[in-house]
Structure 1
Amino acid sequence: MPGPYVDPFHGDADLPAKVDVVVIGGGIIGTSTALELAERGISVALCEKGGIGHEQSSRNWGWVRISRRDPREVPLMAESLRLWQGMDERIGRPTGYTRAGIIFTCADEESLAQHERWGRHLEPYQIEHRMLSGQELADMMPGSRFDVKGALYTPTDGRAEPQKAAPAIAEAARDKGAHVLTECAVRGIETAGGRVSGVVTERGPIACSQVVLAGGAWSSLFSNRFGIDLPQLKVMNTVLRTKPLENGPSQALWHKDFAFRKRRDGGYTVASGHENIVDIVPASFRYARNFLPALKSEWASLNFRLAGRFLDEIRIPRSWAMDEASPFEYARVLDPKPSKAMADKFLAALKRAYPLFEKAEVAQTWAGYIDVTPDAVPVISPVEDVPGFHIATGFSGHGFGIGPAAGRLMADLVTDRPPLVDPAAFRLSRFFDGSKVEIISGF
């Protein structure tokens, strides 16, 4: 079965000859960046090789959370919470956003203490959060039998619908004057006088002075073609959605064995709380040293496999001519096969812990590739060696909720405005300037 149904978006028929900025990638980050630029009166073309939001931007859990984020992301996510609250009114379309709260359960006293300490990162932003006892959690979700000591509860967190958000934001960007082109892969960038002068797409060239690469899992391949080293790998996550379920909780909840959140249609999105699949591919060896600290930190949650994806990627050329079809034209959408064994496991665990879900009927199961960086923190950064070229990628499974603020920060960097937050933690150069790779997120 293909990936989740995404609200249809029809791209523009005509390719502009010239714009100020070309944004590559039509996920939540690319569309948010395009909207920000268009609202500032900047002429922009967004080029997507497939459909708007068809990869990880529609396949994620739909959580809009500040809770339990890497502290380096907290200032940006605080801004994103504010942007989400006014998003539907701003763009004139529904995204399914609602502020329903998110709960992170704590299995033992040590976990409780860790979550309580983490909550101090929210104090400067006056964001409501509190620790729940096991009994308080049971009272909040009657009939549940979570075997936990307590939980971190952040009422200001929320959710939105991934299958609606990116297309809605893209439509709003077009309302503001952006060109939005689908099935229009960018083959590469062109330079003149040492800086960006345009891009070459499969439909022809577009002259521009700035480019933003928001290509998700494809960003490293694109960057490497032009001599820009971007350490990035992929992690596969399996997700299912249920049919509508009566009397279910409105809060989203994370447990080490499962995670769920209510959908707009009354069903639930359900996934594993910590397990993911990592396909061993050629890039795994290329970036092994970069990712060694992450492997040590997250080893227990990663299931490594050597399967067909290795052969798929070894066949992908790392260099191509601009007048020939690029790899992006041969793989419009990354649509990995979900793991039935994993889905069965996390759904069974949820039913044991919360018998309400015994009535849940599975409507669809899908998988998606999460693009990750060595420190699990995104790159939102200019590329110093190629003036005019910027990268916004590597959101490591945290991109949907933070997307609107990431787009605003990227637009600030492109237009030389004072940045929304200090962008130092997101600079590309941190991987090469001798900085220590720190894995701070997760418990």
Structure 2
Amino acid sequence: MTFPIHDASPVRFPGPLPAAADVVIIGGGVVGVMTAWFLAERGLSVTLCEKGRIAGEQSSRNWGWVRQQGRDPGELPIMVESLRLWKSLAQELGQGLGFRQTGVLYLADTAEEMAGYEGWLTHARAHDVDSRILSREEVAAMIPQAAAGWKGGLWTASDARAEPWAAVPLLAEGAVRRGVTIVENCAVRALDIAAGRVAGVVTERGRIRAGRVLVAAGAWSRLFLGAHGVKIPQLAVLASVAATAPLPMVFDGAACDSRFAFRRRADGGYSIAPSDHHDFFPGRDAFASLRSFLPVLRQDFRTTRFRPFAPKGYPDAWGTPRRWSPDEVSPFERMRILNPAPNAAVVERLRDDFARTFPALGRPDLTAAWAGMIDTMPDVVPVVDHIAAIPGLTVATGMSGHGFGIGPGMGRVVASLVAGDAPGHDLSRFRFSRFSDGTKLAPGPSL
């Protein structure tokens, strides 16, 4: 399996498309796949439609971190459950997931960062997460080849890593064994609505009758939902990642400081990414959501580079239609996989950052570089809720770069929500109504 998955990757899940299902899921990322998995375990018939490839977008383009550390308090209990699920999934599916509990380490360059780590520990302790503060000396002993001189760190030994481009298709295979029908290269063009409620979906290959539909379409969710009058203030930012060739081990887990992040991969290389840079292409939706996003823009303004226009076909490109007929080709078919080019200057800077941190290794050779579009909300937590205006419709989107690690736990929660059962966690932080009930939208106490 190459990384990341792209539109030239072979189709692994061809269908066929059924005439009916209990639930249709739109989107083949980790949350959609794991929701399908748990719905099938409940005995429901489930069809998952993916316009391109399973994990073709952010679910194969992320850092591969499975972390409790630094989570928003609303996400943390679901993430604790998710880590338990990852461990059981690894027992069932084997080493192909790349799952290993090698820890996550946040490295502090300033006293203010150390104070922030101390403050977040309150949430860790409330959920029995084993996070702890490391001194300068403890960090130096943990990463002895580093020359950065960090002031200390936050360490969670139970946190883990996995290989996203391999793990999510493997999870999809497990869902199929449980009875899920997955159809790649099959865009859902629209909801089929009768008498004001969901009656199914219209795909490019025909209709599927279903009383329940889940939209878990990542960066495309706003575009799809907006065509049905459901408006969510969701935008997407570009994040670049690179893979080094195999290197001597300097740290076996995942770590980041204020400049860059690095994670040991199963092939002996490191995935490296900036922790201080995103590219943003403002489009029509971005201007419409400007007021909602002002708090997070103020917080991250220095780390965001504003680009002039979204490339043709992107969800928020100026030329992307916001309305279309279910009988015509949709924007989702015109761009099967959102596959943006990485920021070349950022990738080169990553090599320099790695060399400054590990001077004995120097500038690493790269085997690949890629980018993904991270779907995000103004408060940097997802929407996980039913849509009251369209009975039968549920949304799970805006994972804000947090979706891979929390995917199994969030899938279990969303499956319960779709099935009409108690989700087992307080989901009020993720309710859809927060965008209209006067709630102040701002990032919570995460790291």
TM over 0.5: yes
- Distance, in Å, in 1 between the alignment partners of 2:361 and 2:27 is 37
Q: Which residue does the alignment assign to 2:340?
A: 336
Q: Percent identity?
A: 43
Contact 1:12 1:179 in 2 (8 A): no
Q: Which residue does the alignment assign to 1:391?
A: 395
Contact 1:380 1:390 in 2 (8 A): yes
* Offset of residue 423 of structure 1: 1.1
- Distance, in Å, in 1 between the alignment partners of 2:246 and 2:41 is 37
2:362 to 358, 364, 367: 358
2:52 to 47, 50, 53: 50
Contact 1:9 1:167 in 2 (8 A): no
Matches within 5 A, 1:173-188: 173-188=175-190
- Distance, in Å, in 2 between the alignment partners of 1:230 and 1:129 is 34
2:120 to 115, 118, 121: 118
Within the alignment, does 1:373 sit opposite 2:373 as a pair? no
Instruction: Point out where structure 1 has 5 or more consecutive residues left out of the alignment.
Output: none
Contact 1:279 1:305 in 2 (8 A): yes
Q: Which residue does the alignment assign to 1:438?
A: 442
* Offset of residue 8 of structure 1: 5.3
2:32 to 30, 33, 37: 30
* Offset of residue 347 of structure 1: 2.1
Q: Which residue does the alignment assign to 1:211?
A: 213
* Offset of residue 111 of structure 1: 1.6
Contact 1:248 1:356 in 2 (8 A): no
- Distance, in Å, in 2 between the alignment partners of 1:307 and 1:194 is 37
* Offset of residue 356 of structure 1: 4.3
Secondary structure in 2 matching 1:314: coil
Within the alignment, does 1:107 sit opposite 2:95 as a pair? no
Secondary structure in 1 matching 2:362: helix
Secondary structure in 2 matching 1:116: helix
Secondary structure in 1 matching 2:373: strand
* Offset of residue 91 of structure 1: 4.4
* Offset of residue 75 of structure 1: 1.2
Within the alignment, does 1:4 sit opposite 2:4 as a pair? yes
Secondary structure in 1 matching 2:201: strand
Output one character per residue of 1:337-388: Cα deviation in whole Å (capped at 9) or x when no partner: 1111011112211210122442632100001100001100011111111111
* Offset of residue 125 of structure 1: 2.1
Secondary structure in 2 matching 1:430: helix
Distance 1:49 1:143, change over 3 A: same
Q: Which residue does the alignment assign to 1:423?
A: 427
- Distance, in Å, in 2 between the alignment partners of 1:33 and 1:8 is 24
Output one character per residue of 1:133-186: Cα deviation in whole Å (capped at 9) or x when no partner: 111111111121123210001101111111012111111111011100000000
* Offset of residue 65 of structure 1: 0.5
Q: Which residue does the alignment assign to 1:255?
A: 257
* Offset of residue 298 of structure 1: 1.4
- Distance, in Å, in 1 between the alignment partners of 2:176 and 2:118 is 43
- Distance, in Å, in 1 between the alignment partners of 2:150 and 2:249 is 22
Matches within 5 A, 1:67-216: 67-91=69-93, 94-216=96-218
Output one character per residue of 1:25-83: Cα deviation in whole Å (capped at 9) or x when no partner: 00111101111111111100000000110101000000001111122211111111111
When the two structures are aligned, how many residues end up with a matched partner?
A: 442
CA-based RMSD of the aligned residues comes to: 1.7
Secondary structure in 1 matching 2:75: helix
Contact 2:59 2:168 in 1 (8 A): yes
Instruction: Point out where structure 2 has 5 or more consecutive residues left out of the alignment.
Output: none
Q: Which residue does the alignment assign to 1:269?
A: 271
Q: Aligned letter for 1:133?
A: S
Contact 2:242 2:347 in 1 (8 A): yes
Output one character per residue of 1:231-252: Cα deviation in whole Å (capped at 9) or x when no partner: 1111000000011112331021
- Distance, in Å, in 2 between the alignment partners of 1:213 and 1:156 is 32
